[in-house]
Amino acid sequence: MAFVSSGYNPDKPMENRISDIGPRKFDEFYPPVIAKNKGKWLYHEYIQPGVYYHVAESGDKVFTVRVGGARLMSTTHIREICEIAEKHCDGYLRFTTRNNVEFLVDSEDKVKPLVEDLESRKFAGGSFKFPVGGTGAGITNIVHTQGWIHCHTPATDASGPVKATMDVLFDDFKDHRLPAHLRVSLACCLNMCGAVHCSDIAILGYHRKPPLLDHEYLDKMCEIPLAIAACPTAAIKPTKIEIEGKKLNSVAVNESRCMFCGNCYTMCPSMPLADTEGDGIVIMAGGKVSNRISAPKFSKVVVAFLPNEAPRWPQTTATIKNIVEAYAKDAKKYERLGEWAERIGWERFFEKCELEFTHHLIDDFRDPAYFTWRQTTQFKF
Amino acid sequence: MAKHKTPLLDQLESGPWPSFVSDLKQQAEVRAKNEANIEFQIPVDVVEDLMGVLELSFKHGRTHWKHGGIVGVFGYGGGVIGRYCDQPQEFPGVAHFHTMRVNQPGGKFYTAEYLRQLCDLWDFRGSGITNMHGSTGDIIFLGTTTKQLEEIFYEMTHNLNQDLGGSGSNLRTPSDCIGQARCEFACYDTQALCYGLTQEYQDELHRPAFPYKFKFKFDGCPNCCVASIARADMAFIGTWRDDIRIDQEAVAAYIGGEIAPNGGAHSGRDWGAFDIQSEIIDNCPTDCMWMEGNKLMIDNKECNRCMHCINAMPRALRIGEDTGLSILVGAKAPILDGAQMGSMLVPFVKAEEPYDEIKEVIEAIWDWWMEEGKNRERLGELMKRQGFQALLKATGLDPDPRMVQEPRSNPYIFWNEDEVEGGWERDINEFRKYHQR
């Protein structure tokens, strides 16, 4: 493994340096049918779940085949995607915001061989490499965060629960039977780099134990004022600790005020929260980002805690499946999960989804909490 | 023979959904065989050690990655995230396992040729493991060593004409929906605006000068496929201000059952015959639609452009022609004071190059936020702390009822002295002439 230089000279970092050039320009990568008809599309229709076409003013059509996949992806897998794109699509492809891959072709006769090729490819372990689906009134791929594969703050894994959940929801990835589309998202901690707070169903990693305090190292590793300032409930204060006769600067945590957000750990590595029993999953439901019919909504907490049950998180996936089935059975056409819950009332939502309503689900965090309590005599028995 | 036993991960190889474990295993094997004869610049067994450490996390229910670490490329303050394993003795291949964010092309369109060039670079100088893509939109290169960072950046900029994305307290990599490239609903060219602003603000993207992260996202219409309204400090959402275009023949075809509603999105169930009254007209949030004989009528002035009728009958109804975008500001995830949705700041602006009007708003907001924002305070939090009026003052925009859901229900108005006749300077003795103590 001999070091191979790129040409970069560490002694003269500015020599021949190129910077601030930004991304490659989008139109370098447009398939010809896209470049020709951009801004002139008329309408689209689904041929089957995962396969749809757009018609342009020119009469041109572009057929898209959408496949799901893990966003954690090897170069070996990407090279296979490239091979498929070259075989069927003149070397063009795109990814969607929700980690799907889309293969685009310019005539209908190219669709069937492409779909058959994609569906025929399986990993050695038996799972599909490129399942076709994820469109229309069904469930598309889960957007998610890093989890245990690469992040320092997670309260659950990401790729694991996503794989387990999509296995359970797979039929709806390949179907259009739901009242509207249903978006599932996962964030492995409250930082929500995946922004799951407006999803039909959100899987959120959450800690339940206050930070451990590594007093011996805390003042060496952290800026104590920043750790104190990071706490949204002012539960952290400076203190002195005596260890082996030495007085050390550290912090004390008022544990009854801790909301387990982990913001202190973000600022101070000597305050870890991760814990086998303490960490797990919150299920939220009823959010959306679309402005269609009703305004965008936040997801609401419907299950306060489920344990981390690696490798397949059975309680989490069963809970999600129940919610999906109750929604599929009861909601009206076009109605999103949150719109359904609001129409039938949240008391009915808990009943229909067979979810227990516990005190954890009543908001007690600052002013907005009040606006979520019921200030009317209107309720259902 | 695998380097580490992974009995828990192995259970994620079954089931129909693509298994990331199977993918990691095939990658480990490809590296071990090295049929392409690559002179790997980081340990050949990096993927095996990655699986090993992940298995340990599955066993412990806790992550084994250490907190951060300041690494990067010269002159940039973002684009690289330091990552170290907390069990380096057992998993030396991932002892240093830094992330690089690579700024994705607009619409996430690629050619196989370009993707292969990225793969070649990443196989040679990194783990060969990626995210396609990260949540913000970047291509994520997962796992390389410190020494390779400058080498990768050099090759990327010199050979691939490709730059890094953002991280830390800077402009994060902007991202867009597919837009006009392949969507009839797009009200402006999201990719052109996204690319234009990304290029304009390269300095802000690479060199952290902000109180905290700042995100731009570009949605072509109110369907918000990239969730700009929920997660972007500034969301640019396409809209129009003239009339929905109606093709009455196509309306009749929908009513007659010749065209499936919503592009056939409900094909998995028998919902019965299409009923324009219950499915479209009764679902209209502003009650601005009705039938006159066989004709669908829309009182466009009352339409709030929710997109339902257009989504449901794309062959009959089209967005208007006087298009532009709305700017909503201040969205963020819950850390710390709860999640915030974007708030309407600019109801309508044309999206035409060189986008000067849009840039004026952006720069006014940045000036205000950089002056007033506290360390790690998002724009939405500053808006809450100082009030919407402060945002109006900073941007010079006039108040508009479109900016609020409803007017305030308390009368605690912070009147400015110059708004009150005579000002606040008064003489108590003059007052006492008429009002005894």
The predicted pLDDT at position B32 comes to 97
Interface A-B, measured as beta-carbon pairs within 8 A, has a size of 457
Half-sphere exposure (CA, 13 Å, Cβ side) for B365? 25
Q: Does residue B64 contact residue B85 with C-beta atoms inside 8 Å?
A: yes
Range list of β-strands (E), B123-163: 129-132, 139-142
Q: pLDDT tens, A275-318?
A: 999 999 999 999 999 999 999 999 999 999 999 999 999 999 99
Side chain identity, residue B388: F
Predicted confidence band at A368 (pLDDT cuts at 50, 70, 90)? confident
Residue of A41, A135, A279 with shortest CB distance to B184: A41
Alpha helices in A151-249 (DSSP H): 159-168, 170-173, 215-221, 224-230
Q: pLDDT tens, B122-174?
A: 999 999 999 999 999 999 999 999 999 999 999 999 999 999 999 999 999 99
ipTM tops 0.95: yes
- Among chain B residues, the shortest Cα distance to A63 is held by B182
Q: Tell me the shortest Cα–Cα distance from A224 to chain B, in angstroms.
A: 15
CA B376, B381, B386, B392: dihedral to nearest 10 degrees? 110
Determine whether B204 is exposed, middle or buried from the number of CB atoms within 10 Å of its CB (0-12, 13-18, 19+).
buried
The predicted pLDDT at position B1 comes to 64
Would you tell me which residues 377-436 of chain B have a C-beta closer than 8 angstroms to some C-beta of chain A?
none
Percent with pLDDT over 90 in chain B: 97
Q: Does residue B120 contact residue B159 with C-beta atoms inside 8 Å?
A: no
Yes or no, beta carbons of B227 and A195 under 8 Å apart = yes
Q: Is the pLDDT of residue A16 over 70?
A: yes
Residue of A150, A175, A312 with shortest CB distance to B268: A175
Percent with pLDDT over 70 in chain A: 100
Characterize the bridge pairing of strands A280-285 and A201-206. antiparallel
**pTM (predicted TM-score):** 0.97
User: Span B96-101, mean pLDDT?
Assistant: 96
Q: Is the pLDDT of residue B334 over 90?
A: no
The predicted pLDDT at position A268 comes to 95
Predicted confidence band at A14 (pLDDT cuts at 50, 70, 90)? very high
Chain B residues within an 8 Å CB radius of A151:
63, 65
The three-class DSSP label of residue A128 is strand
Q: Is the pLDDT of residue B175 over 80?
A: yes
Chain A residues within an 8 Å CB radius of B202:
20-22
| Measured distance CA(A119)–CA(A147) in Å, rounded | 29
State residue B4 phi and psi, 5-degree precision: -120, 145
Q: Which two tokens stand for residue A80?
A: 């296979």
Residue of A2, A138, A229 with shortest CB distance to B39: A2
Q: pLDDT tens, B252-272?
A: 999 999 999 999 999 999 999
- Nearest-5° angle of CA A240, CA A242, CA A244? 155
* CB of B269 less than 8 A from some CB of A: yes
Q: Which two tokens stand for residue A185?
A: 């998202």
- Among chain A residues, the shortest Cα distance to B143 is held by A150
Q: Which two tokens stand for residue A362?
A: 């009543």
Q: pLDDT tens, B377-413?
A: 999 999 999 999 999 999 999 999 999 999 999 999 9
* CB of A45 less than 8 A from some CB of B: yes
Half-sphere exposure (CA, 13 Å, Cβ side) for B266? 21
Q: Which two tokens stand for residue A284?
A: 């939220």
Residue of B115, B265, B336 with shortest CB distance to A263: B336
Determine whether B370 is exposed, middle or buried from the number of CB atoms within 10 Å of its CB (0-12, 13-18, 19+).
exposed
Candidates A69, A176, A202; CA nearest to A127 is A69
- Give Cα separations from B304 to A70, A289, A337, B187, B286 (angstroms): 37, 16, 22, 15, 7
Candidates A48, A55, A44, A200; CA nearest to A133 is A48
The three-class DSSP label of residue B49 is helix
Determine whether A364 is exposed, middle or buried from the number of CB atoms within 10 Å of its CB (0-12, 13-18, 19+).
exposed
Q: Tell me the shortest Cα–Cα distance from B356 to chain A, in angstroms.
A: 20
Candidates A334, A287, A291, A289; CA nearest to B305 is A291
Yes or no, beta carbons of A73 and B131 under 8 Å apart = yes
- Burial call A267-288: b when 16+ CB within 10 Å, e when fewer: bbbbbbbbbeebbbbbbbbbbb
* CB of B68 less than 8 A from some CB of A: yes
Chain A residues within an 8 Å CB radius of B228:
289
| A122 secondary structure, DSSP code | B
Q: pLDDT tens, A89-130?
A: 999 999 999 999 999 999 999 999 999 999 999 999 999 999
Q: Tell me the shortest Cα–Cα distance from A45 to chain B, in angstroms.
A: 4
Would you tell me which residues 328-367 of chain A have a C-beta closer than 8 angstroms to some C-beta of chain B?
333-334, 365-366
Q: Is the pLDDT of residue A195 over 90?
A: no
Predicted confidence band at A191 (pLDDT cuts at 50, 70, 90)? confident
- Nearest-5° angle of CA B282, CA B284, CA B289? 85
For residue A249, the tally of other CB atoms under 10 A from its CB is 14
| Measured distance CA(B388)–CA(B405) in Å, rounded | 13
* CB of A320 less than 8 A from some CB of B: no
Q: Is the pLDDT of residue B337 over 90?
A: no
């919503």: which residue's tokens?
B262
Q: Is the pLDDT of residue B69 over 80?
A: no
The predicted pLDDT at position A193 comes to 79
Cα Rg of chain B (Å, integer): 28
| Measured distance CA(B43)–CA(B56) in Å, rounded | 20
| Measured distance CA(B192)–CA(B176) in Å, rounded | 9
**pLDDT, chain B, mean:** 97
Predicted confidence band at A1 (pLDDT cuts at 50, 70, 90)? confident
Yes or no, beta carbons of B264 and A45 under 8 Å apart = yes
Candidates A276, A59, A243, A45; CA nearest to A156 is A276
Interface test with A, best of B86, B131, B148, B278 (most A CBs within 10 A): B131
Alpha helices in chain A (DSSP H): 32-37, 75-88, 111-120, 159-168, 170-173, 215-221, 224-230, 263-267, 314-330, 337-344, 346-352
User: Span B84-108, mean pLDDT?
Assistant: 97
